[in-house]
Structure 1
Amino acid sequence: MKLNSTVLLTLILLTLMLGAGSVSAFLGFNIGSSALKGITTPDGRPATKFASSKTNSQQGGLALLKEQEILKIVKARIEGKTKAAKSENLEEDDEETNSSKQKPEEKPPEVTEEKLQPGFPITAQSEGVTLSVQSARYSGGDLLLKVKMQNKGTDSVRFLYSFLDVTDDKGRTLSASTEGLPAELPLNGPTFSGTVSIPTALLDDVKKVSLALTDYPAQKLKLEVSDIPVEK
């Protein structure tokens, strides 16, 4: 009798355990299924991927152009830029032409004659060679005598300006320097201009100076320019 009750109890316990296990499995399956809703397994097949990418590209509106169409587009753009550049060059040429037409003709500068000081020029001539003092002015501590020379004689003439004699109205010899005067005057040559400078410190009580010059080495000429007014 006791054995039968033990077996019965064991069967009841097994039945309860199986029922509890079944219920647990069912609940776990439902919970897992609800958690995995919306999750799909990735498709690893190359053909499927290519088809899906092709479909996506078509849906996205991307259109692949053929090579001939691309060449036509590039050619059209190049021709358009070339035409635009030509039109710009033509417009620039037209503007330059119009501006050149609108510009008035430039007149050559008028040559103004040099205004001479009263009593000038003072000229000396010998054997066709002319020595002329055009003006006298003070500048920078020196008396500047503007001088012109020209040769209309029969031969060219050479000069050493260290032989230039400068004297005041009291017969005193004054030191002087020259600038721009030619070492040689050619026959029938142009007029040469230069300057004779005399320090102002030597002219405190001087009213007039004189210049004397001869050629070198022949010393055939005697050019004397006297009574040049230098009073301040």
Structure 2
Amino acid sequence: MKVNSTVALTFTLLALMLGAGVLTGTWGFAQGRTALKGIKQPDSRPTKGAAAKNTSTREDIVLLKEEDVLKSVKEKMNTGGRGASPSPSPSAKPDQNKPDAAPTSAKLPMTTQASGVAMDVTGIRKQGEYLLLDVALKNNSDQAVKFLYSFLNVTDDKGRLIVADTTGLPPELPSKSDRFTGTISIPNSMLDDAQKISLQLSDYPDQKLQLKMADIPIK
């Protein structure tokens, strides 16, 4: 049987093309595998990411002193069993221009001192919806003393904690300082049937100096 030359040439070309395709594919696969050698799929397990995130979070945590946290909570609580009363807003502070009500029968001034620092209560009066205590601080020691008045502890004769606001008192008393005066404002609604109150003020942040004044008559 005589083979047509055109058919033979066609089959020869097809065979060459097939061989070239196989050879090219094999070479390309080998090159790609060599290029990707050493590369691994990233670990996308959620537990590992969460652990890393938690580790980072724990490293950023700043621990607060337990004493500071407890005192901050205490000043905002009313332990008298009637529920906490909202602290007065700045706009509701007593108007200093209004005439004062009659002062209480307390024998003033009342004085306390510790480590060369003296605190006086020089006046007690009612003004509008507030009880105002005129106070004075003086540092006779050789070291400056700092105060954080949000830590001022005010309690009544029934042991209830009272929220109070201070104005005019400096955050720091320099050594051998002059006498600084200010006011402690207490809402009448928080005093209820109380007859006496007590004050306690500590220096900040050491809290080694304790100025205490108990049984201040308010009625």
Q: Does structure 2 conserve the Cα–Cα contact (< 8 Å) formed by 1:166 and 1:209? A: yes
Q: TM-score scaled by structure 2?
A: 0.52
Superposition pairs for residues 141-156 of structure 1, below 5 Å?
141-156=129-144
Letter in 2 for 1:122: M
Alignment match, 2:79: none
Name the SS for the 1:162 alignment partner: helix
Aligned residues: 117
Alignment match, 1:133: 121
Letter in 2 for 1:126: A
CA apart distance, 1:118? 4.5
Q: Does structure 2 conserve the Cα–Cα contact (< 8 Å) formed by 1:125 and 1:223? A: yes
Alignment match, 2:156: 168
Distance, in Å, in 1 between the alignment partners of 2:179 and 2:110 is 16
Name the SS for the 1:154 alignment partner: coil
Q: Does structure 1 conserve the Cα–Cα contact (< 8 Å) formed by 2:106 and 2:216? A: no
CA apart distance, 1:127? 0.3
Letter in 1 for 2:201: L
Distance, in Å, in 1 between the alignment partners of 2:131 and 2:216 is 12
Q: TM-score scaled by structure 1?
A: 0.49
Alignment match, 1:158: 146
CA apart distance, 1:117? 6.2
Q: Deviations over 1:22-77 (max 9, x none)?
A: xxxxxxxxxxxxxxxxxxxxxxxxxxxxxxxxxxxxxxxxxxxxxxxxxxxxxxxx
Superposition pairs for residues 32-181 of structure 1, below 5 Å?
118-181=106-169
Distance, in Å, in 1 between the alignment partners of 2:135 and 2:142 is 22
Name the SS for the 1:182 alignment partner: coil
Alignment match, 2:82: none
Q: Does structure 1 conserve the Cα–Cα contact (< 8 Å) formed by 2:106 and 2:218? A: no
The structure-2 alpha-carbon separation of the partners of 1:160 and 1:140, relative to structure 1 and needing over 3 Å to count, comes to: same
Q: Does structure 2 conserve the Cα–Cα contact (< 8 Å) formed by 1:129 and 1:151? A: yes
Distance, in Å, in 2 between the alignment partners of 1:229 and 1:136 is 9
Do structure 1's residue 207 and structure 2's residue 195 form an aligned pair? yes
Larger Rg: 1
Alignment match, 1:58: none
Q: Deviations over 1:158-182 (max 9, x none)?
A: 0000110000000100000000001
Alignment match, 1:221: 209
Do structure 1's residue 185 and structure 2's residue 165 form an aligned pair? no
Q: Does structure 1 conserve the Cα–Cα contact (< 8 Å) formed by 2:155 and 2:197? A: yes
Alignment match, 1:101: none
Superposition pairs for residues 11-30 of structure 1, below 5 Å?
none
Letter in 2 for 1:220: K
Distance, in Å, in 2 between the alignment partners of 1:166 and 1:140 is 20
Q: Deviations over 1:117-146 (max 9, x none)?
A: 651111110000001111111102000000
Letter in 1 for 2:203: D
Q: Does structure 2 conserve the Cα–Cα contact (< 8 Å) formed by 1:117 and 1:135? A: no
Letter in 2 for 1:125: Q
Alignment match, 2:65: none
Q: Which runs of 5+ in 1 are unaligned?
A: 1-114
Q: Does structure 2 conserve the Cα–Cα contact (< 8 Å) formed by 1:210 and 1:227? A: yes
Q: Cα RMSD between the aligned structures?
A: 1.6
Distance, in Å, in 2 between the alignment partners of 1:138 and 1:151 is 28
Alignment match, 1:64: none
Q: Which has the higher helix share?
A: 1
The structure-2 alpha-carbon separation of the partners of 1:116 and 1:192, relative to structure 1 and needing over 3 Å to count, comes to: farther
